[in-house]
Amino acid sequence: MAGSGGKGVGQIVTGLGESGLGKALAAIAAAFLFRMFSGPGPALLPENCADDDDIDDQSDFDGGHTGKVVPVTIRWRSITCSLSDKSSKSVRFLLKNVEGEAKPGRLLAIMGPSGSGKTTLLNILAGQLTASPRLHLSGLLEVNGNPSMKKTYKFAFVRQEDLFFSQLTVRETLSLAAELQLPEITTVEARDEYVNNLLFKIGLVSCADSIVGDAKIRGISGGEKKRLSLACELIASPSVIFADEPTTGLDAFQAEKVVENLRQLAEDGHTVICSIHQPRSSVYSKFDDIVLLTEGALVYAGPARDAPLEYFSKLGYSCPDHVNPAEFLADLISIDYSSSASVDSSQKRIDGLVESFSQQSSTILYATPIAIRDVSKDSVKFERRRIVRKKGSWWRQFSLLLKRAWMQASRDGPTNKVRARMSIASAIIFGSVFWRMGRSQTSIQDRMGLLQVAAINTAMAALTKTVGVFPKERAIVDRERAKGCYALGPYLVSKLLAEIPVGAAFPLMFGAVLYPMARLHPTFSRFGKFCGIVTVESFAASAMGLTVGAMVPTTEAAMAVGPSLMTVFIVFGGYYVNAENTPIIFRWIPRISLIRWAFEGFCINEFRGLEFDHQHSYDIQTGEQALDRLSFAQSHIRDTVVAQSRILLFLYCITYRLMEKNKPKYQQIELPPSDKIQPEQQLEPFNTDQVEQYQPKESPPPDQIESNQQLESPEIDQIRPFILEGAKTSSLRVSPGMILIVIDLVNTLSQLEACNG
């Protein structure tokens, strides 16, 4: 006999009868719920952080909503990324010893042919390179002159694909993003003013009240979606903006508008880095600096516009008149695969360009020394304050996410219309096939078949809808959680509650049409119980869709895995295989089968108290006899509903754990071998103007020099020794004293040159 639905979550899932194990698993599920409802605490302080007085000092903190941008200069050296292939035991280099610098107020473009490593370099700089055991990443990253392995500044990352909640308007999308990311804005007026300013800044005023849209319903254009992605990332006033192929899929006009927005952001003080394939000439003219890559190697890094053309003309490659410089550069560093001879000649040309730049990078690279004094105390406090700030309260996050989930679910007209039509159409078809069943012996089989297909149809409809939507929504949630907008618990609870009214409507439509057409047990109470069972089954199947969507990476994989699992549940659903005849090793499957519990509830509701026409003693005379043949005689409707509710709760807990475990992980950069680290003087030569700012007008006595250096030394909480975490055997330390020694040496050399002169 099948076990009762009230034996505990553990028995439902595992099929084991021990009450201790069931209680233990039920306690685990309760612990998951407690964690989902518990509010997020403050983030941990980083090591060597300033004291509490500095952190809590509100006078030095300027919130993100004020628009203040902390200037950040990013410098990278010896960046090498390789991908190993276990089958062929070969190694492919994605990047080879790449160097460069991005500075505030300048728009940097990473250019190159397809497969040159543009996106890889951008992801490395943004810390967004997906982790893989086959990848090996090494190099040096410096932020404002300090070696840094972790993001200690605000940054925005605009990806190629634009993912939004399609039923929200542009204004609603930005307003909710502002509420989630800037809880310090407490008044509606201040938030509306902030959003309006952002709409004007990005150029989205004309479409502010238009829905975003998707493939099913038309919304804003591709260029407007790209600008909306940029606006969502600018909510918290990031210091650095990374944009991966921001012009992909746009026409020339829209592409220029997007790049113009990036240019304006750079002029406002942001550090803007973008990857771009082959821009038009008007777009190319907006870049301040460019990095040219080919096959992972660096061909040029420096000022844009005419500077690269002058550099390559000295090497014998002149750009013809009236030719787009970007097209000329792309042709110059691309391999021609039209013939073997062209491949060899173009490969030799590229190898020569790479070698030439590696020898002349010290005189071409646009990097300039960074004064230690540029890293102000206010900037350090601003960034640390950002790290330790708490998110909004659990209930505030829940209310905002519930509002968004309800708008998304209730406004999705095309999907809701299709689901309603399919529910009514399925009910009409099944009702026509099983039209007004009587009380004969053959009607017993008809009733069982109808109840089985009703359970299958309800579960499959809810499952396919969820697995087709949730993987894309999960990508949005992962991005927002990576920014610290909200916790996972409020999101899942709000999603469940927001979908109850809309999700319950479709199974109720199905039951309201099917029940009278098939003339099932004709009492109002039985009809109400039938609708209740089909509704709970629909929500349990949706929860299963969430679990599958959290388990697999793509929508296609979810569409393959979900129905396959449901097919197994159908086989063990109680109609094809009797629970008593199920092999021992498979007896746990009926206890977690949504189809089985729904079918059992339908049968109990339909057959109990029903009498059939009979002519022989061996005929089934009552509905209880039919339930006994299905091994459902000892069960009750309440047990089946409780069992489905527990399965729903358990699946939500599994979804929570899977989303926590499968959140994106990014590759950590390691320290390169010491023999491959180029000296910093080769990367950033001092010119005479820069030396003069450190050089005293007169030669003071040594004791006076020492006192002056002590007065100008940066404070310890501004720049402190940094231990590079990637080193395994030794640690690389950069202290203020070492930097001052280098400055001292430069001053001495300058004085000697003046004496010789």
User: Kind and range of the H or E element at 289?
Assistant: strand 289-294
Contact (Cβ atoms closer than 8 angstroms) between residue 362 and residue 682? yes
The reported pLDDT for the residue numbered 49 is 36
716, pLDDT greater than 50 = no
Q: Is the torsion defined by CA of 262, 267, 268, 272 positive or negative?
A: positive
Q: Which residue has the tokens 């634009």?
A: 162
Tell me how far the alpha carbon of residue 475 is from its chain's centroid: 4
The pLDDT score that the predictor gives to residue 11 is 40
Pick the most confident of 526-540, 616-630, 711-725: 526-540
Give residue 275's Cα distance to chain centre. Answer: 19
Handedness of CA 558, 563, 566, 567 (dihedral sign): negative
Task: Please write down the long-range contacts of 212-221, taking CB distance under 8 Å and 24 or more positions apart.
Answer: 212/164, 212/165, 212/166, 212/167, 212/168, 212/169, 212/170, 212/173, 213/166, 214/166, 216/166, 216/414, 216/415, 217/166, 217/413, 217/414, 219/166, 220/170, 221/254
Indicate the residue type of 503: G
CB 107 within 8 A of CB 137: no
How confident is the model at residue 715, as a pLDDT? 37
| Residue-level pLDDT at 429 | 95
Please tell me the distance from the alpha carbon of residue 607 to that of residue 63, in angstroms, as a whole number: 66
Return phi, psi of residue 141, to 5°.
-120, 135
Question: In this structure, are residues 126 and 157 in contact, taking their beta carbons and an 8 Å threshold?
Answer: yes
| Residue type at position 212 | V
* pLDDT tens-place string over residues 236-267: 888 899 999 888 878 888 888 889 999 999 99
- Between 204 and 52, whose confidence is greater? 204
Q: Largest Cα–Cα distance of the chain, in whole Å?
A: 126
Q: Which of 40, 18, 36, 38 is nearest to 649 (CA)?
A: 36
DSSP assignments along 632-659, one per residue? -TT--HHHHHHHHHHHHHHHHHHHHHHH
- pLDDT band at 690, cuts 50/70/90? very low
Q: Is the confidence at residue 366, as pLDDT, over 60? A: no
Q: Is the pLDDT of residue 363 over 60?
A: no
Q: What is the DSSP string of 224-256?
A: HHHHHHHHHHTTT--SEEEEESTTTT--HHHHH
Domain ranges of the chain: 156-237, 412-662
Please check whether residue 640 is in contact with residue 601, taking contact to mean a CB–CB distance below 8 angstroms.
yes
- H helices within 288-437, ranges in order? 307-314, 325-332, 340-364, 377-388, 394-411, 413-433
- Residue 663 carries which DSSP code? S
pLDDT of residue 67: 54
- Transcribe 675-730 into DSSP letters: GGPPPHHHHSPPPHHHHHTTS-SS---HHHHHHHHHHHPPPTTTS--EE-TT-SS-
Residue 681 has pLDDT above 60, yes or no: no
Give the helix/strand (H/E) hosting 536. helix 524-551
Residue ranges of E strands in 126-282: 135-143, 146-147, 155-158, 240-244, 271-275
Query: What average pLDDT does this structure show over 58-71?
Result: 52
pLDDT band of 369, cuts 50, 70, 90? very low
- In angstroms, the CA 286 to CA 142 distance is 26
Q: Pick from 506, 515, 534, 510: which is nearest to 427 by CA?
A: 510
Q: Which of 62-66, 110-114, 135-139, 149-153 has the lowest mean pLDDT?
A: 62-66
CA 530 to chain centre: 40
Q: What is the dihedral of CA 294, 297, 303, 304, to 10 degrees?
A: 10
CA–CA distances in Å: residue 696 to residues 369, 693, 699, 703, 713: 18, 8, 7, 14, 16
**In angstroms, how far is CA 248 from the centroid of its own chain?**
19
Alpha carbon 203 to its chain centroid, in Å, reads 25
Q: Which residue has the higher pLDDT, 314 or 366?
A: 314
Kindly report, residue by residue over 330-358, the tens digit of the pLDDT. 999 988 888 888 888 989 999 999 988 88
Count of residues in the chain: 757
Tell me what pLDDT residue 719 has: 33
